[in-house]
Structure 1
Amino acid sequence: MKRMKFNKIWIILCATIIHLNARTYVVSPQGNDGNPGTAENPIQTISSGARRAQPGDTILVQEGIYRERVTPIRGGRPGMPITYRAERGKRVFIRGSEIWKTKWRKEGNGIYSAKPEDHLFDDRSSEYLDHHNPFKVLLSSTPYRREGKIEAERKAEGDNRFGETDDRVAYTCGQIIVNGLPWMEVPLKEELASNRWWYDPKGERIWIHFGSTIPEEQKIEITTRRRLFAPTKRGLGHIIVEGFIFEHCGNQYPTNFWKEDKYAQKGAIGLEAGHHWIVRNNLVRYAKTTAIDCGRVDGDTPHNGYSHDNLIERNYFIDNGSAGILSYGSKNLTIQNNVILRNNTLKFFGKKRWEHGGIKCHHFKKGKIEGNYIAHNSYSPGIWFDNEF
């Protein structure tokens, strides 16, 4: 009995010492990643904080715009999470885009074109099985209620659920944001009109119809990253993400995600089959497709020990291309008090376009969804349980 009491006291003492040694790394746009990360000498990127943080530590991010993909490399422990926190009351952006200042070529009638430089696309994660440049990756299903190249290929392979298709019609995972708003992509050059853009895969040029405006006088952002906050290692636990504004993300629509790894279910924020995450008080908007995934991401994720006891609360998931929240095979997932509004802006609808909506959950076990405001998610259910009853 005395030995048991001694062991308990020793465990509590060790935990206390670790907690007292917990650090706060301060991040500022004016910082330097060679700094120690103190308030007086902050680091410059959230990613630098992610590389340094140990269980119990906090990465405190000051006001500003951070153009990076944050990849946590480790999780916390029970009672000692790793916390990523935006400065309270400040606007802290994590964007998957870069400001694009380029040499434009006049194409006539208000249309200009340019070729983005490859160095802009700095999210070179090994998880991308197709390409790191979202403009070189086709969406896995055709949006806007059209039947295009992807559907034509599936039809040729024997899937006869599609009607008439047009194999010229294909959309990319890229985004063009002008003066703060995403402009609409069109799949054909002849469909270009004011405030729309088209990607030429042969010339690798982006054509934009600026109407009567001059491109050099506009703030143009180009999506250069395919995710915003997600580990590449699966199953990390005890991570808190709170207070950020996440914008612009060239992610994929997860058609057949359970059997085609390149179409894995991956949001702008991704828990990557993690456990004991808390995602709280964030705004996620203008992702190409999904705002957040909080379950297993594909058919290769083990069923046991992954994707459980996560909390998604008091967030705003607004104006994303397909879905607000996606989950596959989660256990004890709580989704509460979120605003999920105007998602599926790309109007996915039809055969092989089933992974969108306000909240879409596959194999939802012992979870809770309550107190959310869910409205105006185009061509989508507010809450969809796909449990294969």
Structure 2
Amino acid sequence: MTTYYVSKNGSDQNDGHKDSPFLTIQKAADVAIAGDTVTVHEGVYREWVKPLNPGLSSRRRIVYQAAENEHVVIKGSEVIEHWEEVGDHIWKTSVDNQLFGDFNPFAKAVWGDWLTSIDHTNHLGAVYIDGKAMFEAHSREALEHPKQRQTVENFFTHEQLPDFYSDDTKYLWYADVQENRTVIYANFQGIDPNTALTEINVRPCCFFPERTGINYITVRNFEMAQTATQWAPPTGEQQGLIGPHWSKGWIIEDNVIHDSKCSGISLGKELSTGDSYYYRRFDKPGYTYQIETVFAGEHNGWSKDNVGSHIIRRNHIYNCGQTGIVGHMGCAFSQIYDNDIHDIATRHEFEGWEIAGIKLHAAIDTQIRHNRIYRCSLGTWLDWQAQGTRVRQNIYYHNGMDFFVEVSHGPFLIENNIFASKYALRHLSDGGAYVNNIIAGDMLVDDVRNRSTPYHLPHSTTIKGMTPVYGGDDRYFNNIFISREKAKHCGTDMYDGHPQSLQAYIDDVQTQAPTDLEGYEAKKTPVYINNNAYFNGAKNYADEANKLSDPSFDSKFAIEERGRSLYLTINLPEAYTVFKVPAKVTDTLPHVRLVDADFEQPDGSPLKINTDLLGRVADDHVLTGPIQSLNSGENHIKIW
């Protein structure tokens, strides 16, 4: 086992040992083999690191790390000097296209399936002034008369979103790509770009192997920024600023990841299983191509033995245009925890369906735990095949929408989270369980009967069948529902009319016997709802046997930032502390009907939901909500 060293004072002609370090991280990546460590000393490294060799197991990794207590930055950008002022605040520079090689991001549009702005006017290029990304103008003339950005709307609800960038939209650039040169014009609003740090992105990635199957890599303690990543739909290559590229067993930890044009971390699909064929061909729906992608992935080695099982922890991820973390299939069996994710897809330079702080397809047995997700267009979006997925102890606030689970059949478990944005939850799935959460915002629950999506054998990528979402077969236990000012809907009353047991549903269907599909489609499926609390006008399921319902009670619910810390304020009625209910376990979470599976740990062992958001372990009976130290009356608690 060898340690190779990299330093800004080194040379790639050296041997990489401590006294003769390499100059580039890539040189170390070319020679490092399983069991080796690459230690990088302080400085800014402008390169795309493409690991050449894999580790062999979780014990024989290749580790890439910043030297202890040293700040190492990997950038996908280059410094651009020699700007010439050509008008009021307008500057220009001419860049030789040899700088870009065969990838000029200013010539490439943001493009791919499920992107809704497909007019090819938004490009992968970006200009940064003193580290801040500027906005692209769509003409040279627009630089001279920058306009305040129009009201931004939530992509799903068409309601106004918080505008975090209104003061920055005056900083504009425009690129004229010519045969041999790229001329960039920019309005720096009075800043002299020749005395500031002025950069443009030139590379799509900072740390991303070109080949698949580069397993067991650890990347830690770097800052990585300013890449020209392409839009990452589930039907195309999902490229990130950093990612394993269809490999197994990566650990990405303690990094600062920011300013990726589209995606920060990719745990996603590779190119051979689909390349945005809907927008290339238009001959059949994207939904059909995505089904083909899933089967192609299975044919191309998608299994627990080959792909996934990554650990993404303690990273700070922000200012990415599409997703903080994206993945399709390659995210399966992974753990994503203790990350701080914010300001994702809030610049609104382009729009599409694949946006979120965390956006995953086929997150089989993936565990998303104790992340702080805020100021994102959408917090977390689980789309297709959320099976065995567990989302727990996360805090969502100030998002356009907190949480969305789409066309999945479970079992997926959402427990001990706080959903605090005005639009808290969108549920277009079945087979889910929501346990011990605070849901303090609008909810939408619906079926989806025009799309049949896959489900799997338990804890496996093997496809067992396909079915549409009939609605129901959901579980809500031990939650606190808080309706907000001008809220449209919060609570469980949207399930009124659904039976309370599987046997009641079966009996109802069989009243039409002999019957097949039409009999099942005609009846509402069972739901399991009990032991929840409802405040501020939130409404309960009509047949809920045991509940704490006080619709007129004002909980005074609020999430407050104090520096990097976060506080919860909530007022609770006198009856709250005596309303203790059983902690849910595998045996008391009803079996999922369509998938024919139980709620359990990824290894198949039983689970018990008695550890709250703050890590406190309760006994066999718990308070409703995600914090077991709450009391009747006023509560003011540090939660991050």
TM-score category of the 2 structures, normalised to the smaller one: 0.7 to 0.9
Per-residue deviation, 1:318: 1.2
Q: Does the Cα contact within 8 Å between 2:116 and 2:353 map onto a contact in 1?
A: no
Question: 2:316 is matched by which residue type in structure 1?
Answer: Y
Equivalent residue in structure 2 for 1:280, among 250, 253, 262: 253
Name the SS for the 2:56 alignment partner. coil
Is this contact kept in 2: 1:297–1:328, CA < 8 A?
A: no
Counterpart CA distance in 2 for 1:56 and 1:213 is: 48
Contact 2:97 2:182 in 1 (8 A): no
Residue 359 of structure 2 corresponds to 360
Q: 1:137 matched to which residue of 2?
A: 108
Count of paired positions: 330
Whether the 8 Å CA contact 1:176–1:182 is kept in 2: the answer is: yes
Task: Note if contact 1:292-1:325 (Cα within 8 Å) is conserved in structure 2.
Answer: yes
* Structure 2 unaligned spans of 5+: 147-169, 275-296, 385-406, 409-640
In the alignment, structure 1 residue 369 sits paired with structure 2 residue 350: no
| One-letter code aligned to 1:359 | I
Structure 1 segment 1-389 matched on structure 2, within 5 A: 22-78=1-57, 79-102=59-82, 104-121=83-100, 132-140=103-111, 147=117, 149-150=119-120, 170-192=121-143, 193=146, 194-201=170-177, 204-255=182-233, 257-258=234-235, 261=236, 264-298=237-271, 299-300=273-274, 302=300, 303-304=302-303, 305-329=305-329, 330-347=331-348, 353-377=352-376, 379-380=377-378, 382-387=379-384, 388-389=407-408
Q: Distance in 1 between matches of 2:243 and 2:255?
A: 13
Aligned-pair Cα RMSD in Å: 2.2
Report if the CA contact (8 A) 1:185-1:198 is conserved. Answer: yes
CA distance in structure 1 between the aligned counterparts of 2:32 and 2:112, rounded to whole angstroms:
39
For 1:37 and 1:384, locate their aligned partners in 2 and report how far apart those are by CA, in whole Å.
43
Query: Could you give the per-residue CA deviations for residues 201-245 of structure 1, whole angstroms, max 9, x where no partner exists?
Result: 458311111233333222211111111100011122111000100
CA contact (8 A) 1:291 1:317 kept: yes
1 CA distance for matches of 2:204 and 2:39?
A: 24
C-alpha contact (below 8 Å) 2:139/2:174 kept by paired residues? yes
Deviates more, 1:301-310 or 1:240-249: 301-310
- Measure, in 2, the Cα distance between the counterparts of 1:174 and 1:54: 34
Instruction: Report what 1:18 is aligned to.
Output: none
Residues 331-359 of structure 1 deviation map (CA, whole Å, 9 limit, x = unaligned): 21110111111111332675xx1112110
Shift of 1:108: 1.6
Matched with 2:479 is none
Give the direction of change, closer, same or farther, for the CA distance of 1:148–1:272 in structure 2 (3 Å limit): closer
Cα gap change, 1:369 to 1:180, in 2 (>3 Å)? same
Alpha-carbon distance, 1:105 to partner: 4.2
**8 Å contact 2:205–2:228 — kept in the other structure?**
yes
The alpha-carbon deviation at position 146 of structure 1 amounts to 8.5
Structure number with greater Rg is 2
> What are the superposed Cα offsets for residues 132-155 of structure 1, whole Å, 9 maximum, x if unpaired?
111110111799x985624xxxxx
C-alpha distance after superposition, 1:45-94 (max 9, x if no partner): 10000001011000000111111000001111122100001112221000
Choose between structure 1 and 2: higher strand proportion.
2
Map of 1:19 onto structure 2: none
Whether contact under 8 Å (1:282, 1:315) holds in the other structure is yes
Do the aligned partners of residues 200 and 348 (structure 1) sit closer, same or farther apart at CA in structure 2, a change above 3 Å counting?
closer
- Say which SS state the counterpart of residue 263 (structure 2) adopts: coil
SS of the aligned residue for 1:376 comes to strand
Does the CA contact (< 8 Å) of 2:204 and 2:227 recur in 1? yes
Quickly say closer, same or farther: Cα 1:375–1:267, change in 2 above 3 A.
same
Stretch deviating more after TM superposition (278-287 or 111-120): 111-120
> What TM-score, normalized to structure 1?
0.80
Q: SS where residue 106 of structure 2 aligns?
A: helix
Q: Alpha carbons of 1:213 and 1:314: their partners in 2 closer, same or farther (altered >3 Å)?
A: closer
Name the CA distance, whole Å, in 1 between partners of 2:372 and 2:117. Answer: 32
**Cα separation, partners in 2 of 1:213 and 1:281, compared to 1, 3 Å:** closer
Hey, what does 1:4 align to over in structure 2?
Answer: none
Quote the sequence identity (%).
Answer: 28
- TM-aligned CA deviation for residue 39 of structure 1: 1.4
Contact 1:327–1:361 (CA<8 Å) still a contact in 2? yes
Contact 1:296–1:306 (CA under 8 A) maintained in structure 2: no
SS at match of 1:208: strand
Alpha-carbon contact 1:296-1:307 (below 8 Å) kept: no
TM-score of the aligned structures, taking structure 2 as reference length: 0.49
- 2:17 aligns to what SS in structure 1? coil
1:314·1:336 contact (CA, 8 Å) conserved in 2? yes
Q: Higher relative CO (CA 8 A, sep ≥ 6), structure 1 or 2?
A: 1
Aligned letter for 2:172?
A: R
Structure 1 residue 251, shift from structure 2 partner: 0.9
Q: Contact 1:274–1:295 at 8 Å: present in 2 too?
A: no
Residue 140 of structure 1 aligns with an amino acid whose one-letter code is W
Q: Does structure 2 retain, via aligned residues, the 8 Å contact 1:142–1:148?
A: no
Distance 1:147 1:74 in 2: 38
- Corresponding residue SS for 2:122: coil
CA shift, 1:250, in A, is 0.8
Amino acid in the other structure paired with 2:326? L
Residues 24 and 60 of structure 1 are in contact (CA less than 8 Å); yes or no, is this contact kept in structure 2? yes
Q: Distance in 2 between matches of 1:45 and 1:218?
A: 25
Task: Decide whether the 8 Å contact of 1:142 with 1:171 is kept in 2.
Answer: no
**Cα 1:70–1:269, aligned 2, differ >3 Å: closer, same or farther?**
same
Q: How far apart, CA to CA, are the structure 1 residues paired with 2:20 and 2:262?
A: 37
Q: Secondary structure at the match of 2:312?
A: strand
